[in-house]
Amino acid sequence: MIAHQAEALVLRTWPVQEADQIVSLFTRDQGKLKGMAKSAARSRRRFGGALEPMTHVVAHYVEKPRQELVRLDSCEILSSPLSQPVDYRRAAALAFYAEVLEETLPDHDPQDSVFRLALTVLEHTRTDSIWLPVTYFALWMIRLMGWMPDIERCTLCGRPFGNESAWFLAGSDGLVCGDHSHPASRALSPQSLAIAGRFFRTPIAGLVSEDWPPNRAADLRRFAFQSLERHLERKLRSTQALKA
Amino acid sequence: MARLIEELRKLPGIGTKSAQRLAFHILRSNPEDAEALASAVREVKARLQLCSICNNITDVDPCLYCASPTRNQRLVCVVEEPTNIATVEKTRGYNGVYHVLHGTLSPLHGVGPEHLRTSTLLDRVTRGDIDEVILATSPTVEGEATAHYLADMLRSGGARISRIATGVPAGSDIEYADEVTMTRALEGRREM
């Protein structure tokens, strides 16, 4: 048996038996792993509110040889989403982060850059400002997973987009110019392409002073959601709440 | 036998082995016990329904609470599930009525505002039938989001909207309270 103490983000929980829970954790050092939290639904002492999705914790767990689930003994909260007011939009944003991390990351594969990204967007996800962090997170996840196409040139002919829109299609890779777009393609405006470029050059803290209403870069968000869903080969449930 | 095991396996918390154990128990039990179980299952589906006012599970409509002349019908406690009513009733200190949502907003499970049973509550508040709505959803992310949504929806109706207090549980040790619980306990302190 090896005892661990690791900084982690709680992604999801599933109830088992009467009071036990299986917990999915994204740890900084060991990547994503799942553990059994015995009596988690009853024991306020060991877990309290630490098993809420996207809570940043120090997790104490024990790994046993030949067992897939670790034994989660306790969690100390470093920061909790419940420290700030939670409305439906913010809950949807938190669910989106948790779902994307749960679905994209392989088990036991540490991804420090993804961990840092998640902490950064969590810090800026407030009830009145979810659209910037959600879009920033979605786009960066595509990039960190290696799924980001060229945002400056047409994938098919290499022509720079310049001041023209780029086009994307749910079922195919990359961004194309108007000449190569499909009738079912959706446009990505030059303004949104410029925002994408800024996202990759500027930390989120440098963007929060700007106004981010829901319709700003909505096409970029749609492109990001579609890219994630296409590579995961499944619909993300939480995006429905963010589209509504 | 395979059909019985398969049906039992659909129950929450029941795996294949537990389903087999239960099925063999039913097989070994006397016919009266097996018939009593079958008839209880049939009756629960045939006789129980949701109260047309508060959505509580009941065998008479309106339910016991909504029909009670001794309860304060102008004070409504909103809970997530019918089982939460028993928890509030255990206090013996609440004399209002209830409204059951049958769930909370859960983007991860595809539960949006349109899935919550809120229409009769909104009607009652809009008609001016209610003085105060107590939002007693759990202090989780989903419970908080639901309370926030309901408060926004009901605010224009003129009723007082309140949220249950959160903080250190009675009989527990402050030493083990987490950061969020303690912050809320301090925020919700009261004068003595």
Judge if A2-83 and A88-243 fold alike in CATH terms.
Answer: no
Task: Report residue B183's pLDDT band, with 50, 70 and 90 as the boundaries.
Answer: confident
Q: What is the mean pLDDT of residues A83-110?
A: 94
- Measured between alpha carbons, how far is B184 from A83 in angstroms, rounded to an integer? 9
Token pair 């179980």 is found at B37
Share of chain A above pLDDT 90, in %: 68
Tokens representing A136 are 């920033």
Phi, psi at residue B97, to the nearest 5°? Answer: -115, -175
Closest chain B C-alpha to A15 CA, distance in angstroms: 9
What SS3 state is found at A127? Answer: coil
Q: Which of B142, B152, B181 is opposite residue A91, by nearest beta carbon?
A: B142
Q: What is the mean pLDDT of residues A176-191?
A: 90
Considering only residues 25 to 44 of chain A, which have any Cβ-Cβ distance to chain B shorter than 8 Å? 44
Q: Which fold has domain A2-83?
A: OB fold (Dihydrolipoamide Acetyltransferase, E2P) (2.40.50)
Q: Which residue has the higher pLDDT, B132 or B171?
A: B132
Q: What is the mean pLDDT of residues A82-93?
A: 93
- Answer yes or no: CATH 3.40.1360.10 is held by domain B70-163: yes
Q: pLDDT at residue A26 above 80? A: yes
pLDDT per residue over B25-68, tens digit each?
A: 999 999 999 999 999 999 888 889 999 999 999 999 999 999 99
Q: Which of A168-177, B119-128, B147-156 has the lowest mean pLDDT?
A: A168-177
Q: Kindly tell me the burial class for residue A227, based on how many C-beta atoms sit within 10 Å of its own C-beta (0-12, 13-18, 19 or more).
A: buried
**Which residues does chain A have within 8 Å of residue B107's beta carbon, measured at their own beta carbons?**
88, 91-92, 95-96, 237-238, 240-242
Q: pLDDT at residue A43 above 70? A: no
Q: pLDDT at residue A244 above 70? A: no
3-state helix, strand, coil split of chain A in percent (to 5) is 35, 25, 40
Closest chain A C-alpha to B13 CA, distance in angstroms: 6
Domain ranges in chain A are 2-83, 88-243
**Which residues does chain A have within 8 Å of residue B141's beta carbon, measured at their own beta carbons?**
52-54, 81-82, 86, 91, 94
B114 touching chain A per CB within 8 A? no
pLDDT per residue over A117-164, tens digit each?
A: 999 999 999 888 899 999 999 999 999 999 999 999 999 898 999 888
| Secondary structure string (H, E, C) spanning A70-107 | EEEEEEEEEECHHHCCCCHHHHHHHHHHHHHHHHHCCE
Do A32 and A70 meet the contact criterion of CB atoms below 8 Å apart? no
Contact B107 A240 (CB under 8 A): yes
Q: What pLDDT does B2 receive?
A: 92
Query: Residue B81 gets which letter from DSSP?
Result: S
Query: Residue A153 gets which letter from DSSP?
Result: B
Task: Report residue A45's pLDDT band, with 50, 70 and 90 as the boundaries.
Answer: low
Phi, psi at residue A10, to the nearest 5°? Answer: -80, 125
How far are the Cα atoms of A8, A73, A145, A160, B140 from residue A53, in angstroms, in the given order?
A: 11, 18, 22, 41, 9
Contact B144 A18 (CB under 8 A): no
Do B97 and B88 meet the contact criterion of CB atoms below 8 Å apart? no
pTM score > 0.90 for this model?
Answer: no
Do A166 and A193 meet the contact criterion of CB atoms below 8 Å apart? yes
B107 touching chain A per CB within 8 A? yes
Name the residue type at position A192: S
pLDDT per residue over A184-226, tens digit each?
A: 899 999 999 999 999 999 999 999 999 999 999 999 999 999 9
- Measured between alpha carbons, how far is B65 from B54 in angstroms, rounded to an integer? 9
Closest chain A C-alpha to B109 CA, distance in angstroms: 7
As a CATH number, domain A88-243 is: 1.20.1440.120
Do A236 and A103 meet the contact criterion of CB atoms below 8 Å apart? yes
Domain ranges in chain B are 2-47, 70-163
As a CATH number, domain B2-47 is: 1.10.8.420
pLDDT per residue over B68-114, tens digit each?
A: 999 999 999 999 999 999 999 999 999 999 999 999 999 988 899 99
What SS3 state is found at A15? Answer: strand
